[in-house]
Structure 1
Amino acid sequence: MASGDDDDPIIEEIDVYLAKSLADKLYLFQYPVRPSTMTYDDVNHLMAKIKPKQQRVELEMAINASSPNYCRSKGEQIALNVDGTTFDETNTYSVKMMDKQTFSSIQATTNTSRYAAAVFRKGELHITPLTGILQMRPSFSYLDKADNKTREREAANEGGDSSQDEAEEDVKAVTVRFARPESEQARQRRIQSYEFLQKKQAEEPWIHLHYHGVKDSRSEHERQYLFCQSVDASENSELVKTPKEYLAMLMPPLAEEKVVKSVGPSNVLSMAQLRTLPLGDQVKTLMKNVKIMPFANLMGLLASGTDSTAVLRCIQQVALLVQGNWVVKSDVLYPKNTCSPHSSVPAEVLCRGRDFVMWRFTLERSVMRKEIAATIKLPPEDVKEFLEHVAVPRVNRGWEFLLPTDAEFIKKHPDVAHRQQMLWLGIQSKLEKVFNFSKEDFMPKNCPQPESVHVSGEERLKMAQERAHENTSSLQKDLDTKRAGSSVHIKQEPVSDKDDEPMDTTCPPSSSIPNGSVNGYPSTTSPNFDHTNGNTPSPELQDFVTKTFRKHFVLTLNELKRLFNLHLASMPAGWSVFQSVSDHVLQDAMLLCRCKQIMVPFPAQTTAAADEQKVFGLWETGEDFDKHRRLLYELFTKNYRIRRNMLQARLALDFEDVPKADIDRVLKECCISHAGMWYLKGTIQS
């Protein structure tokens, strides 16, 4: 010992021995989901198996079904879901009750070179290196088996459909392709893929083991191998390292990896690296860097052969359409919980301000910076950054939109342009509330405004006198023409800006669409307006309801509204024959279309919304099959779920000899199967 260490005297010296008898087969098991005071030592272990190469272990332990804490009914239900009602050797639970559970291992660490198990005896410390550290967690593979049983039952209920599908599959053509040589880079990606690892794990066979308890004599015998078998001093070397060398062995210095830095600027994108990313990430990265781009340019930057439909789906997630060009969304540039690099303004405020700038460019080609700043009230640096993303300054003209209107894209993809127009109307509605402005405040100055026609009483009298000498039929025709030319105003509500579907069942307000076009998309008004009373279902609405129920047969009110919104969204821009449609009008339309409400007795603890508990079914189609459908509805007025045999027995009681095909048809048309029970469409509770 050095003289400087005299104040830290040695109290005791302990000989350390390295035991190697179990060096390649000693595992440490951890049970992270169970407290250390509740061990599994006294639990009956039914089965144990291992895959040594992968270090995977499975243990099967018995569950005390006679314990007062055990729910017998739940255990029986789980066994029924997993094994069904049959009795055979493949059953998971032979006693028709969940009486055992399986624990499956995952590796806590892949490097166990610094871990060992130690035993202290008679002043000697014996250590054995660990082969692996495994965490044992409950396995829920029985749930997968229950799902497979459910699918098998549903396939059996479908009956003839599967056989028909199999017959169709038999005649499919077989395409033969020759695989090209695999590159080294492709091989590395393949062997690191999840599918390859799963296949590799399945190839190694399980080795079944026999479990011995802690107090078993065989366990006591095996524990002796934790001690070094030979303690002869001649076979054990003494540690002759200095303290510093010993510490360096225990904790070696970390080797610094030499990272080759790119010589190019950090903001330059490598197209080779970009194309290795998923398509959605490629589109997002390009739009985030370029800010604004026509769709044709975007397709040119992507790899040749990329599906344009897939690109359209991706671009709508990260960008908005402005004058036929795609501009990156504000929340992509300013993610949540970030702030402006110029003024530290929160991202939420920045997004609102930038959305206002983009919305203004959907109305006109040029905007004035002072007007923008006066409305959004953000620092000049941020306003300038918004404008620089999408516009360039022009002398005496303010800031002009950077790209010309892409009319070709709008003409080629009218459905996308219409959907984007509806999104902008929703954004406009939000901006009006935030910044407290009116739509008319920013109407384009270069667009002619509609002039209202006002005719005074004297002029009307003069016109009538001049036409008094003309033919009566001609006069009547002129008056009818004049009445037809009068303007018709229909009050409608704005549409939500959600990507999936509109919130309301109304069309975009015609007054919110500037004259000429919105986003470069022509705004036309259909001549076929619905002039019926707002409280009476129109013929067009009744036609939609009839066609929808002929296809679905059973719908909740919530689902019908969703389908109606999708129908509105699919109509061309500005073309609408529907007024504001309320829930009451929708229900009246269903009654007029020979549908009736089914009073399903939902359980008291149901979480379904009110619109989801209003269930309507097609009552009469003119077919003889209607009586089967009405009988099914009657069963669902007594319980919100039924079994197939209940329907079969009731049909056999009321109508003799009902073929199986009719039972399959009525269930397929009106119901959905889950866990062996049948529910009306839209009523199944998760």
Structure 2
Amino acid sequence: MASGDDDDPIIEEIDVYLAKSLAEKLYLFQYPVRPSTMTYDDVNHLAAKIKPKQQRVELEMAINTVSPNYCRSKGEQIALNVDGATYEESNTYSVKMMDKQTFSSIQATTNTSRYAAAVFRKGELHVTPLTGILQMRPSFSYLDKADNKTREREAANEGGDSSQDEAEDEAKAITVRFARPESEQARQRRIQSYEFLQKKQAEEPWVHLQYHGVKDGRSEHERQYLFCQSVDASQNSELVKTPKEYLAMLMPPLAEEKVVKPVGPSTVFSMAQLRTLPLGDQIKALMKNVKIMPFANLMGLLASGTDSTSVLRCIQQVALLVQGNWVVKSDVLYPKNTCSPHSGVPAEVLCRGRDFVMWRFTLERSVMRKEIASIIKLPPEDVKEFLEQVAAPRINRGWEFLLPTDADFIKKHPDVAHRQHMLWLGIQSKLEKVFNFSKEDFMPKNSSQPEPVHVSGEQRLKMAQQRAQDNHSSLQRDLDARRAESGFHIKQEPVYDGEVEAMDTSSPSPSSSSIPNGSLNGYPGAASPGFDHANGTGGGTASAELQDFVSKTFRKHFVLTLNELKRLFNLHLASMPAGRSVFHSISDHMLQDAVLLSRCKQILVPFPAQSTAASDEQKVFGLWETGEDFDKHRRLLYDVFSKNYRVRRNVVQARLAQELGDVPKADVDRLLTECCSSHGGMWYLKGTIQS
């Protein structure tokens, strides 16, 4: 011990004193968005206020508007957006210019017991405990005020004089509901909700303060309280400890530190918390929160090495299989003795209605909300909640199932799929008795065979192609008769015969009958069967439907490769109800003819010789004429890409400026967004990006 003292001698002893005068009032402010060399000491502080319980502070500081770094026009624009053109006392900026900014605080830590402010003077160290450590960051609440002003102006513009507004409203029946007594569980959820916490925080009033600068006399007076007022050791018992007590304070015994858990909803789990539960409870918690999930995603959320057989056994207890995906059971979401948070409907009734919605999705991809509501007869809020859990609204198509059919799972686990199918048959029989309907009521009227429970888009396409094969002979007779009436012969193209798929999206062989890349605008030398070039129209309903599909598709996408157009066409076929398709056999030539008759042209993009994009499937077509002035911009863009398959933005801007003069940036952005995609700083026509 003595040798240790000789090696490390004591140089100086410093007395430490605990100052208590500011123990409950001392805060440390941090400014993380500004370097320490640029302080706010010399900035004019206009106002200050605090909420002591929440430890929230707001400071208003003046902005130097005469600084060469201040943009006056931007400051005036911000003030105009926030306050409008009127002069009112409640305006945020009194001089019609953004001349101040607000700093709002957030707590850097919730536990300040280990932090203190220390002052060293005359060989004495005076320590004052900190009440809070706050980070001051700029507040952008003025942007919210500007948004509110904008919405008010829009509402005022839309709410003009209207005879409909003045008309007397018709008498309507209203439903009066009485609130049920709040249960303890519901009260706990409400107390822990975000809205409740926000409301409680808003209830605490602001305490307005007066700011004093660093060199102010009052500040100097307050700084004296950082020193202990009494240096008598007997009155500072906190720092008078025996060596044993002091050692215990320096090295306390091992104990679990009590972590302050963030306040949040009781249903929210971290992944670490989740994996402490049994497997069945993990799956139940996940499905209850997610509502719908493919099996592969579920396995990815569980711990690595989890046995899939055990997961399958557990998932069937809390979820049902719909189109190859798992959807949480209704009685898990709505347990017994509970009711709807929207309408107060009992859980048993909710479960029946939701089971009907899920059963409908086992039959088809989309359902109509009005049809569902007319059968289950539940309030609109509950019906919407059922649909939002498993579907998404689509324009003119009702509510479409959220996930694609998981055919891989059905193929890998046929026993599970069969068991679930039998379970749905049992649920169907119960629903038929409750809601008084028959399954045939929801089947296509012109279908002689019932549609399978799980029908994917690919299966629908194969069914349509099978029907085309069955009707091949009758189609051939119609074509021959049409040729005889026209008085001239048309070279016949291969028609889908069940072995070669005319709309195959795989890359064609060099001997493919598709149009060679490089022909004038991609126009074929021979017409397609079923297409009448004498009058420029399609030969029948299929051609008219095809023309309509192509026109609408290019109006939406503007630029498409042949391969992408075929993919979209296949999706269009798959979305059509089985037995209602008018498309029996569509070849590549027929599709390209429809493109060229839709005011589109082929863009001869000079792909590199070794590029895979130079294949016949990647022929590029662009919308040429819509009747808008913006057609000139698109044509110039196509001309740029006819010289190089990838360009930079400034090249496009220069070409537009050369032909059209000064083109606004918004027009260039629109042009590139509609027709191109970006990769690695270069712009490519859609579908032609080189990997």
TM-score, normalised with respect to structure 2:
0.54
Q: Give the structure 2 partner of residue 489 of structure 1.
A: 495
3-state DSSP class of the match of 2:280? Answer: coil
Give yes or no for contact 1:492–1:580 (8 Å, CA) kept in 2.
Answer: no
3-state DSSP class of the match of 2:74? Answer: helix
Q: Give the structure 2 partner of residue 267 of structure 1.
A: 279
Q: How far apart are the structure 2 equivalents of 1:168 and 1:286?
A: 56
Letter in 2 for 1:41: D
Q: How far apart are the structure 2 equivalents of 1:136 and 1:22?
A: 21
Instruction: Describe the shift of the 1:281–1:294 C-alpha distance in structure 2 as closer, same or farther (beyond 3 A).
Output: closer
Shift of 1:320: 2.6
Q: Give the structure 1 partner of residue 119 of structure 2.
A: 119
Shift of 1:6: 4.7
Shift of 1:148: 1.0
Q: Give the structure 2 partner of residue 20 of structure 1.
A: 20
3-state DSSP class of the match of 1:47? Answer: strand
Instruction: Describe the shift of the 1:156–1:546 C-alpha distance in structure 2 as closer, same or farther (beyond 3 A).
Output: farther
Q: Give the structure 2 partner of residue 34 of structure 1.
A: 34
- Of 457, 467, 475 in structure 2, the residue corresponding to residue 421 of structure 1 is 457
Q: Give the structure 2 partner of residue 517 of structure 1.
A: none
Give yes or no for contact 1:80–1:96 (8 Å, CA) kept in 2.
Answer: yes
Q: How far apart are the structure 1 equivalents of 2:71 and 2:178?
A: 56
Q: Over residues 466-486 of structure 1, what are the superposed CA-to-partner deviations in whole Å (9 max), with x where a residue is unaligned?
A: xxxxxxxxx999x99xx9xx9
Q: How far apart are the structure 2 equivalents of 1:418 and 1:270?
A: 28
Instruction: Describe the shift of the 1:7–1:299 C-alpha distance in structure 2 as closer, same or farther (beyond 3 A).
Output: closer
Q: How far apart are the structure 2 equivalents of 1:413 and 1:285?
A: 32
Q: Give the structure 1 partner of residue 85 of structure 2.
A: 85
**Are 1:313 and 2:349 counterparts?**
no
TM-score, normalised with respect to structure 1:
0.54
Q: Give the structure 1 partner of residue 669 of structure 2.
A: 608
**Are 1:277 and 2:284 counterparts?**
no
Give yes or no for contact 1:15–1:124 (8 Å, CA) kept in 2.
Answer: yes
Q: How far apart are the structure 1 equivalents of 2:139 and 2:495?
A: 64
Q: How far apart are the structure 2 equivalents of 1:153 and 1:556?
A: 34
Instruction: Describe the shift of the 1:85–1:122 C-alpha distance in structure 2 as closer, same or farther (beyond 3 A).
Output: same
Shift of 1:254: 3.0
Give yes or no for contact 1:76–1:97 (8 Å, CA) kept in 2.
Answer: yes
- Of 581, 595, 598 in structure 2, the residue corresponding to residue 575 of structure 1 is 581
Give yes or no for contact 1:63–1:100 (8 Å, CA) kept in 2.
Answer: yes
Q: Give the structure 2 partner of residue 377 of structure 1.
A: none
Q: Over residues 211-266 of structure 1, what are the superposed CA-to-partner deviations in whole Å (9 max), with x where a residue is unaligned?
A: 111011111111111111122233123533336753545655232899xx999994
Shift of 1:56: 0.4
Instruction: Describe the shift of the 1:276–1:417 C-alpha distance in structure 2 as closer, same or farther (beyond 3 A).
Output: closer
Letter in 1 for 2:577: P
Q: Give the structure 1 partner of residue 152 of structure 2.
A: 152
Give yes or no for contact 1:51–1:204 (8 Å, CA) kept in 2.
Answer: yes
Instruction: Describe the shift of the 1:38–1:197 C-alpha distance in structure 2 as closer, same or farther (beyond 3 A).
Output: same
Give yes or no for contact 1:19–1:127 (8 Å, CA) kept in 2.
Answer: yes
Q: How far apart are the structure 1 equivalents of 2:120 and 2:92?
A: 43
Shift of 1:89: 1.4
Q: How far apart are the structure 1 equivalents of 2:286 and 2:106?
A: 34
Instruction: Describe the shift of the 1:570–1:157 C-alpha distance in structure 2 as closer, same or farther (beyond 3 A).
Output: farther
Instruction: Describe the shift of the 1:180–1:169 C-alpha distance in structure 2 as closer, same or farther (beyond 3 A).
Output: farther
Give yes or no for contact 1:75–1:97 (8 Å, CA) kept in 2.
Answer: yes
Shift of 1:493: 4.6
Q: How far apart are the structure 2 equivalents of 1:131 and 1:169?
A: 61
Give yes or no for contact 1:545–1:593 (8 Å, CA) kept in 2.
Answer: no
Q: Give the structure 2 partner of residue 8 of structure 1.
A: 8
Give yes or no for contact 2:292–2:328 (8 Å, CA) kept in 1.
Answer: no
- Of 310, 315, 321 in structure 2, the residue corresponding to residue 294 of structure 1 is 321
Letter in 2 for 1:312: V
Q: How far apart are the structure 2 equivalents of 1:170 and 1:211?
A: 59
Give yes or no for contact 1:321–1:417 (8 Å, CA) kept in 2.
Answer: no
Q: How far apart are the structure 1 equivalents of 2:291 and 2:152?
A: 36
Letter in 1 for 2:174: A
Instruction: Describe the shift of the 1:546–1:610 C-alpha distance in structure 2 as closer, same or farther (beyond 3 A).
Output: closer
1:386-405 to structure 2, matched below 5 A, reads 389-391=412-414
Give yes or no for contact 1:17–1:228 (8 Å, CA) kept in 2.
Answer: yes
* Structure 1 runs not aligned, ≥5 long: 329-357, 362-388, 393-399, 429-442, 455-459, 461-474, 497-528, 549-553, 615-686
1:282-361 to structure 2, matched below 5 A, reads 285=298, 289-290=311-312, 294-295=321-322, 298=327, 300=329, 302-304=332-334, 305=351, 306=354, 308=358, 309-313=387-391, 320-322=405-407, 361=411
Give yes or no for contact 2:287–2:328 (8 Å, CA) kept in 1.
Answer: no
Q: How far apart are the structure 1 equivalents of 2:493 and 2:114?
A: 86
How high is the sequence identity, in percent, across the aligned residues?
A: 51
Q: How far apart are the structure 1 equivalents of 2:161 and 2:557?
A: 27
Q: How far apart are the structure 1 equivalents of 2:404 and 2:557?
A: 34
Instruction: Describe the shift of the 1:423–1:206 C-alpha distance in structure 2 as closer, same or farther (beyond 3 A).
Output: farther
Give yes or no for contact 2:54–2:201 (8 Å, CA) kept in 1.
Answer: yes
Q: Give the structure 2 partner of residue 384 of structure 1.
A: none
Letter in 2 for 1:39: T
Q: Structure 1 stretch 240-249 or stretch 164-173: which is displaced more?
A: 164-173
Shift of 1:611: 7.2
Q: Give the structure 1 partner of residue 203 of structure 2.
A: 203
Q: How far apart are the structure 2 equivalents of 1:14 and 1:97?
A: 54
Give yes or no for contact 2:457–2:574 (8 Å, CA) kept in 1.
Answer: no
Instruction: Describe the shift of the 1:148–1:452 C-alpha distance in structure 2 as closer, same or farther (beyond 3 A).
Output: closer
Give yes or no for contact 1:493–1:580 (8 Å, CA) kept in 2.
Answer: no
1:278-677 to structure 2, matched below 5 A, reads 278-280=290-292, 285=298, 289-290=311-312, 294-295=321-322, 298=327, 300=329, 302-304=332-334, 305=351, 306=354, 308=358, 309-313=387-391, 320-322=405-407, 361=411, 389-391=412-414, 420-421=456-457, 489=495, 493=503, 531=531, 539-540=544-545, 557=558, 570-573=575-578, 575-576=581-582, 580=591, 585-587=597-599, 596-597=628-629, 603-604=664-665, 608-610=669-671
Q: Over residues 622-679 of structure 1, what are the superposed CA-to-partner deviations in whole Å (9 max), with x where a residue is unaligned?
A: xxxxxxxxxxxxxxxxxxxxxxxxxxxxxxxxxxxxxxxxxxxxxxxxxxxxxxxxxx
Q: Over residues 481-505 of structure 1, what are the superposed CA-to-partner deviations in whole Å (9 max), with x where a residue is unaligned?
A: xx9xx99837865689xxxxxxxxx
Shift of 1:179: 2.6
Q: How far apart are the structure 1 equivalents of 2:170 and 2:8?
A: 83
Give yes or no for contact 1:556–1:612 (8 Å, CA) kept in 2.
Answer: no
Give yes or no for contact 2:291–2:390 (8 Å, CA) kept in 1.
Answer: no
Q: How far apart are the structure 2 equivalents of 1:62 and 1:231?
A: 42
Give yes or no for contact 1:556–1:611 (8 Å, CA) kept in 2.
Answer: no
Give yes or no for contact 1:557–1:612 (8 Å, CA) kept in 2.
Answer: no
Q: How far apart are the structure 2 equivalents of 1:44 and 1:531?
A: 80
Give yes or no for contact 1:212–1:219 (8 Å, CA) kept in 2.
Answer: yes
Shift of 1:268: 3.2
Aligned residues: 462
Q: RMSD of the alignment, in Å?
A: 5.6
Shift of 1:605: 6.4
Instruction: Describe the shift of the 1:125–1:489 C-alpha distance in structure 2 as closer, same or farther (beyond 3 A).
Output: same
Q: How far apart are the structure 2 equivalents of 1:65 and 1:262?
A: 54
* Structure 2 runs not aligned, ≥5 long: 260-272, 302-310, 335-350, 359-386, 393-399, 429-438, 445-450, 507-528, 602-622, 634-661, 676-691
Instruction: Describe the shift of the 1:110–1:251 C-alpha distance in structure 2 as closer, same or farther (beyond 3 A).
Output: farther
Letter in 2 for 1:187: R
3-state DSSP class of the match of 2:108? Answer: strand
3-state DSSP class of the match of 1:126? Answer: strand
Q: How far apart are the structure 2 equivalents of 1:222 and 1:4?
A: 44
Shift of 1:50: 0.6
Instruction: Describe the shift of the 1:102–1:264 C-alpha distance in structure 2 as closer, same or farther (beyond 3 A).
Output: closer
3-state DSSP class of the match of 1:104? Answer: strand
Letter in 1 for 2:333: A
Shift of 1:311: 4.5
